[in-house]
C-alpha cells in the first residue's frame, strides 16, 4: 500500500468554476523524495495543500496510509514559501511550540509531566538546531534577527519537530538568493537521507527538481494523445538533461486540467 494515494482527485475555483486539477490518480511510496514540477498556476501547490488537508477536493479522495484524512495533523509537516515563524518567539520557542501544543492544553501545563516533557522537547529542538547548521547561541534569537536562509532552516526544524512521516515543501527555497538556495538544497537532501522521511517538494525550477528528487512529476506538460506515445521519451529526455545532471531520477508526466 502506498503511503499517499489520490483517487480521481479534482478541484475547481471561481464562478463559473475553473478546473485546476482533474481526475488525479497518484501513488507515493514511503521514503520517496517527490518533486512536483510546473509553472505558476498549474495546480502543484493546490495538490500539496490537498494532501496536507488544508483544502478539500470537489471530488475524489486522498488517503494517507490507507486512511482518509480531512484536516492537517502530525503525520504531515509543512514548509511554505514565505517564512512561517512566530515573530514573538525565539528560535527555540518556534521549534518546541508544535510538540507542546499538540500534546498539552492550557490546563495540563501546570503538571510535573509537562515540565518533564518540556525539557525533552528542548533537548530534541537543540538536536534539530545542530542538524540544520545553526548554533546553540542562535536559540535565543528572534526571527527578525535571522537571515532568510536561517529563518528557512528554522522553519524546516519547526516542521520536523512534530516527527511527521511526510514533509510538504511549497516553493520553500524560491525566495532565497542562489548561494543560500544551494545550501538549503544540500541540507534538505541530507536530512532526507538521514531520516528516511517522505518528501513532497513543489518547485518550478527544473534543475532544482532533478537535483533533489528521487522522482519528478511534471504537471504542466500536455500528455500525448493516444497513438502518440512516441513523444514521451522526448519529454523525459528533455527533463532529465535540463540540469546537465548525470543522475536521472524517475520522471513522470501528470495531467492536471
Look at residue 196 in the predicted model and tell me its pLDDT: 94
Question: Which residues are CB-neighbours of 120 under 8 A, at least 6 positions away?
Answer: none
Location of C-alpha cell 493516444 = 226
Whether omega before 17 lies within 30 degrees of 0, making that bond cis, reads no
Look at residue 200 in the predicted model and tell me its pLDDT: 97
8 Å CB contact between 198 and 108 = no
Ranges of residues in the chain with a pLDDT under 50 are 242-247
Location of C-alpha cell 518533486 = 35
Look at residue 66 in the predicted model and tell me its pLDDT: 93
CATH assignment of 4-253, among 3.30.70.330, 3.40.50.300, 3.40.50.2300, 2.60.40.10? 3.40.50.300
- Packed helices 148-160 and 112-131: angle between N→C axes, nearest 10 degrees: 130
3-state secondary structure of 206: helix
CA-nearest of 235, 231, 228, 229 to 252 is 235
Look at residue 39 in the predicted model and tell me its pLDDT: 83
- Packed helices 91-103 and 148-160: angle between N→C axes, nearest 10 degrees: 20
Question: pLDDT tens digits for 208-239?
Answer: 998 899 999 988 765 556 666 676 677 666 65
Please report which residue ranges of 78-147 form alpha helices under DSSP H: 91-103, 112-131
Look at residue 105 in the predicted model and tell me its pLDDT: 72
Centroid of chain to Cα 17: 27
Sequence spans of domains, the chain: 4-253
Amino acid at each position: 500500500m502506498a503511503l499517499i494515494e489520490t483517487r480521481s482527485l479534482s478541484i475547481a475555483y471561481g464562478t463559473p468554476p475553473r478546473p485546476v486539477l482533474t481526475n488525479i490518480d497518484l501513488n507515493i511510496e514511503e521514503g520517496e523524495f517527490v518533486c512536483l514540477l510546473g509553472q505558476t498556476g498549474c495546480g502543484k501547490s493546490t495538490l500539496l495543500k490537498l494532501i496536507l488537508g488544508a483544502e478539500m477536493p470537489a471530488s475524489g479522495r486522498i488517503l494517507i496510509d490507507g486512511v482518509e484524512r480531512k484536516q492537517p495533523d502530525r503525520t504531515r509537516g509543512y514548509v511554505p514559501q514565505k517564512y512561517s515563524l512566530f515573530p514573538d518567539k525565539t528560535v527555540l520557542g518556534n521549534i518546541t511550540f508544535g510538540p507542546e501544543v499538540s500534546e498539552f492544553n492550557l490546563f495540563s501545563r501546570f503538571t510535573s509531566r509537562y515540565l518533564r516533557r518540556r525539557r525533552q522537547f528542548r533537548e530534541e529542538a537543540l538536536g534539530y538546531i545542530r542538524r540544520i547548521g545553526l548554533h546553540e547561541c542562535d536559540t535565543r534569537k528572534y526571527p527578525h534577527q535571522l537571515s532568510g536562509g536561517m529563518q528557512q532552516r528554522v522553519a524546516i526544524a519547526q516542521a520536523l519537530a512534530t516527527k511527521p512521516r511526510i514533509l510538504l515543501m511549497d516553493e520553500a527555497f524560491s525566495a532565497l538568493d542562489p548561494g543560500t538556495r544551494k545550501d538549503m538544497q544540500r541540507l534538505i537532501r541530507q536530512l532526507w537521507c538521514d531520516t528516511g522521511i517522505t518528501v513532497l517538494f513543489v518547485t518550478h525550477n527544473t534543475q532544482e527538481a532533478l537535483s533533489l528528487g528521487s522522482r519528478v512529476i511534471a504537471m504542466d506538460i500536455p500528455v500525448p494523445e493516444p497513438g502518440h506515445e512516441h513523444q514521451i521519451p522526448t519529454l523525459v529526455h528533455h527533463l532529465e538533461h535540463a540540469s546537465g545532471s548525470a543522475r536521472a531520477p524517475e520522471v513522470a508526466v501528470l495531467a492536471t486540467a
